[in-house]
Chains A and B, each alone.
Chain A
Amino acid sequence: MSRRVLILGATSRIAQEAARCFAAEHARLFLVARDPRKLAALAEDLRIRGCELVETAQADMTDESSRERIVETAFAMWGGLDAGLIAHGTLPDQSAAERDLRVLRQEIETNFVSVASLLMQLAKLFEQQRAGVLCVIGSVAGDRGRRSNYVYGSAKAGVATLVAGLRVRVAATGVRVVLIKPGWVSTPMTAHLKQNFLFATAEEVGRGIHDAMISPRVVVYLPWYWRWIMRIIGLIPEPIFAKLNL
């Protein structure tokens, strides 16, 4: 039987690439995103790439009521889900978030609160069916607060801690929770940044997410070398770290 996968934030470049890997395996995908025109284009693309079925729903992930409704719809559509991928997110302008409390709140709302509440709702449903994989896209930015993007990083750190606890909570029921920590990825979200050799392609990262979701791994850095980069960054003593322009 083909895999039933819910993808939230499906029009993000990384989610698209992961979806293509599921499509090649003839999965059934339930795609959620804000823009109906993008959703329609994406759904047709994934059908042609091999999906058995593609359903779409238009929703803003920061809107609590539509969030709940859509997860319920997706769950009911094919009598349960095999996997859920939470891929929506924004990369805030750090300095704007420092100046403006509304920007700060908005970013935490999108990158942490909405993710946390989706995880709670999905975990409950997955626990009831006693199976399934939940996958969240975190970030290496959550491993240590850095001057350049600590607001984003703090939301992602919150997600990481939440996932760690949730994983233990649901372990006995056979539900698996996977945290993906991508490093820099060339996507429209990072198009304004200067690219260097550590940037990975969205295709690599998307494939990595797909592979992590069907493997027994729980915390996956993409590409793998970020695990070691972040370990080293984590070891830098604070007085030195404060002087680095990271």
Chain B
Amino acid sequence: MTAYESWGRYPRSTPAQVVPLSWISEIPDLSQSARPLLAYGMGRSYGDCCLNGEGTLLATRGLDKFMQFDTVSGILRCEAGVTLEAILRVVLPAKWFLPVTPGTQFVTIGGAIANDVHGKNHHRAGSFGCYVRCFEVMRSDVGSVLCSREQNADLFEATIGGLGLTGLILWAEIQLKRVPGPWIDCEEIPFEKLEDFFELSLQSDESHEYTVAWVDCLSSGENLGRGIFIRGDHSETRTSNIEVHRRGTAIPGLPVPEFVISRPTIRAFNWIYLHRNWRKISRSVVPFDTFFYPLDRLNNWNVLHGRRGFLQYQFVVPQENRDAVREILELIVAGKAPCALSVLKIFGSQPSPGMMSFPRPGVTLALDFPFRGARTLELCERFDEVVRRNGGAVYPAKDARMSPESYKLYFPRWAEFSKFIDPKFCSDFWRRVTASEVVDG
């Protein structure tokens, strides 16, 4: 069954029409559309940037053909609806890997570009956009445009992180990364307080390709910001191919009651997770999917949050203002918010070509909250106050509620960007963050 909702299942909106695309040679004439258009791939962005209420969704999953793969140079060209999972299936046996990967492989390459996604190697590699060589965008006003750093560079920069608003990405070409094989040497190091995370990061970012930390958001006082630091590298010692890709299992389509994700259950889970290997470093060699995509094992883990869905809140603040992280963790504790999952990472300084990219040097924290109405929204608004004060930003791909004022502060180039928006394209997100404002220019 196909539902066109976002991953957080909040907010909901219904498109007036869904147009499934299957062939690049049969893209409909976009200039004839009576309603606003937006591409929809796997629906893995959390908030409303993949939604287009009352508009037309161009479903891109059928645009899933590979176009060119040079096994010597690692340059791959494929249609926009090809998923990262499909790419890995094809390129990994030839010892190539995604230069940057987010926490799920079930996103399309078009979506990865439009949200300029990042991963556990941001401190070294930057964001996905850094590895995009070129792509073709279908516009409603001027037809198809080939974009690269050299050709139509301004549209290239606007489209990377452009939330799908600059037109329909038809295909893209990326530079892959050479790896010895599909295995990861992984280390998990428990830490007892936030300061220890920063110290571990400082050391590990020098020595390891991938670093990230899981934080127990319900701990307070002495233990505020305790968690597990995870670091890894492509294994040189174990390089055998992994034949079968394990498919995730799905939770049956029954409504999940809200107590499934609540403070007592999270507390129990966090305790078990922390004490699995308490105070000792665990080392293992794991398949790439175990390391990068632990949540992909449950195809629809998002339904665990219940009927009302959930909110993600991911922000970044500059290193010098890293106390903002502490402040926000304290707000979670004080507000007794049921924060189910939280991920902490240091972003590096490699800039993305994307004009509206979210990643920027600093500390980033991603948080998950089951949606509990006004209470959840108010809490996020308090987070925003901290982030604004500290010169940070919130990630649009995960946002469902930030105010237009916050957005414009976080993304000061928004007015420049809006000149590149396709006149026929829009999203619920864009309508929200530009509400009650006349866009100048």
Contact = CB atoms under 8 A, between A and B. Distances in A.
B284 to A, nearest CB: 29
Interface of B is mostly: mixed
B259 interface: no
Contact of A191 (B20, B67, B253): B20
A38 interface: yes
Given A37-B25, A188-B20, A42 B2 contact: no
A197 B253 contact: yes
Contacts, number: 42
A44 B68 contact: yes
A196 interface: yes
Interface string A1-25: 0000000000001000000000000
A37 B68 CA distance: 16
B23 interface: yes
Given A186-B2, A197-B253, A44 B65 contact: yes
Contacts of B253: 197
B65 A45 contact: yes
Contacts of B20: 188, 191
A45 B1 contact: no
A173 B253 CA distance: 47
B62 A13 contact: yes
A49 interface: yes
A93 interface: no
B68 A188 contact: no
Nearest to A48: B66
Interface in A22-60: 35, 37-38, 41-42, 44-45, 48-50
Interface in B62-85: 62, 65-69
Given A188-B20, A196-B1, A197-B1, A44 B66 contact: yes
Interface residues of A, number: 18
Contacts of B22: 13, 188
A41 B24 contact: yes
Nearest to B65: A45
Interface in A197-233: 197, 199
A33 B253 CA distance: 38
Contacts of A48: 66-69, 90
Contact of B23 (A41, A44, A191): A41
B2 A188 contact: no
A35 B22 CA distance: 13
A49 B66 contact: yes
Interface string A119-158: 0000000000000000000000000000000000000000
Contacts of B2: 186, 195, 199
A49 B66 CA distance: 8
Interface in B1-58: 1-2, 20, 22-26
Interface of B: 1-2, 20, 22-26, 62, 65-69, 90, 253
Given A38-B26, A44-B66, A199-B2, 19 more contacts: A35-B25, A37-B23, A37-B25, A38-B23, A41-B67, A42-B65, A44-B67, A44-B68, A45-B65, A45-B67, A48-B67, A48-B68, A48-B69, A48-B90, A49-B66, A195-B1, A195-B2, A197-B1, A199-B1
10 contacts: A35-B25, A37-B23, A37-B25, A41-B67, A44-B68, A48-B66, A48-B67, A186-B2, A188-B22, A197-B253
